[in-house]
Amino acid sequence: MKRDRLGFSYPIVDSDICVGCGACERACPALGEHRDDLLQSISWAKADSPDLLERSSSGGIFGLLARKVLADGGVVCGAAFDEGCRAVRHVLVDNEAGLDAVMRSKYVQSSVGKEAYRGVRDVIRSGRCVLFAGTSCQVAGMRGYLGGLADGDLFLSVDVICHGVPSPELWSRWVDYRAEGFGSDVCDVNMRSKTTGWLSYSAMYKHIAEKDNTEDTESQVFGKDWYMKAFLANASLRSSCLACPVKRSSGADITLGDFWGFQNIHPEVDYSKGVSAVLCNTEKGERAFKAIFGLTVNGPATLEEVIAGNPSLVRSVAPYPRRDEFLNDVSAGLSIPDLMVKWDFRSSLWRRVRGILCGIKRRLKKFVCGDSQ
């Protein structure tokens, strides 16, 4: 795999050593044939544990599934920060202490390397269960690599509703810029801190304060953090995300996402720390969700309700209108301060007015239906 100037990896075939077996083409999520994911059930759900909810991006369902797999002697493979938070890669975790590293969404493309593919395969071959979580293309890729092993009871896969993955190069330079501003390295990032709530989450950066060598945090609500604005404007996404080849066809046993708009459907439920949409696509997924049912607050939902707040479940996003020009500037090495001056990603006047109107509507509904519990 070779990285381009934006940090996205692409396959290069070395024809001198390739034996033409076609294994890479069969595993490639962009080339393979994919069956549509069937739906066994669809629910809203959130973890009953306030601590787990606080430490998760959405409703904490991934954390519950992962704990169950670990308790049963299995292994979890998910995305963790690496290289001083400048990169994200998939790692294997076999104990509760290591679990925190693979929790929470990291909005940058994660690299699934040889260690992850072979690690997952070897754990299954040793008779232990693996929970693999990632974007739909990563689940499709892992399933393609595993072949028949993926359909057995020892492999459980979760994909996230994904609106696309941003450039690893942009992220790495953004962390450099933040570290320079702090005068010390960034030691942790939470892109979905709920200190300001689930609906108005913040991007939180932890660093070591120079003055007294203690940990310090700085956070900004997502609409003010420049990196998050570029991501949410669909300016920094990989090209293939604009025409995702595996939307609702990754083969994942369970699909998880934020249940955006939940507050308008169930204002009586406390949604302040996150609620997820849980789509069980296979019987295996349904069994795994049932096994953690008692640790959640949940209820039935419909596909229409999820899609209304989260069209990314079924559709690729439309790109930022001047995405190519923005990415050319990133590739050309424009500094973060220069990029920030040129690209402010302010939402259009209409979008801002619509946001204010939606807020008023939400508050009115809450007022009419009474306070949430």
Residues forming contacts to ligand FAD in the complex (CB under 6 A) are: 56-63, 78-79, 88, 102-108, 110, 133-135, 138, 160-163, 165, 256-258, 276, 310, 312
Three-state SS at 5: coil
Q: How far is it, in rounded angstroms, from Cα 188 to Cα 204? A: 8
In whole angstroms, the minimum distance from the beta carbon of 120 to ligand FAD comes to 13
Q: How far is it, in rounded angstroms, from Cα 132 to Cα 74? A: 11
CA atoms within 13 A on the CB side of 68: 18
In whole angstroms, the minimum distance from the beta carbon of 347 to ligand FAD comes to 17
Instruction: Name the residue nearer to ligand FAD (CB basis): 134 or 319.
Output: 134
Angle at alpha carbon of residue 283, lines to 279 and 288, rounded to 5° = 70
In whole angstroms, the minimum distance from the beta carbon of 274 to ligand FAD comes to 6
Q: For the chain, what is the radius of gyration of the CA atoms?
A: 21
Instruction: Name the residue nearer to ligand FAD (CB basis): 167 or 282.
Output: 167
Instruction: Name the residue nearer to ligand FAD (CB basis): 208 or 291.
Output: 291
Q: Which residue is closest to ligand FAD by CB?
A: 78
Q: Are strands 41-47 and 296-300 parallel, antiparallel or unpaired?
A: antiparallel
In whole angstroms, the minimum distance from the beta carbon of 328 to ligand FAD comes to 22
Instruction: Name the residue nearer to ligand FAD (CB basis): 150 or 256.
Output: 256
Instruction: Name the residue nearer to ligand FAD (CB basis): 78 or 144.
Output: 78
Instruction: Name the residue nearer to ligand FAD (CB basis): 46 or 121.
Output: 46
In whole angstroms, the minimum distance from the beta carbon of 213 to ligand FAD comes to 30
Q: Which of 4, 15, 48 is nearest to 328 (CA)?
A: 4
Instruction: Name the residue nearer to ligand FAD (CB basis): 102 or 228.
Output: 102
Instruction: Name the residue nearer to ligand FAD (CB basis): 161 or 330.
Output: 161
In whole angstroms, the minimum distance from the beta carbon of 16 to ligand FAD comes to 33
Q: Which residues contact 343 (CB under 8 A, 6 or more apart)?
A: 230, 235, 326, 329
In whole angstroms, the minimum distance from the beta carbon of 34 to ligand FAD comes to 18
Biggest CA pair distance of the chain: 71
In whole angstroms, the minimum distance from the beta carbon of 188 to ligand FAD comes to 14
Q: How far is it, in rounded angstroms, from Cα 234 to Cα 228? A: 10
Instruction: Name the residue nearer to ligand FAD (CB basis): 253 or 367.
Output: 253
Q: How many CB atoms are closer than 10 A to CB 193?
A: 21
Q: Which of 154, 51, 59, 139 is nearest to 100 (CA)?
A: 51
Q: How far is it, in rounded angstroms, from Cα 69 to Cα 82? A: 24
Q: How many residues does the chain have?
A: 373
* Secondary element (H or E) of residue 300: strand 296-300
- Residue 166 DSSP one-character state: B
Residue that the structure tokens 């290069």 belong to: 12
Q: Which residues contact 37 (CB under 8 A, 6 or more apart)?
A: 248, 249, 250, 251, 252, 255, 279, 281
In whole angstroms, the minimum distance from the beta carbon of 134 to ligand FAD comes to 4
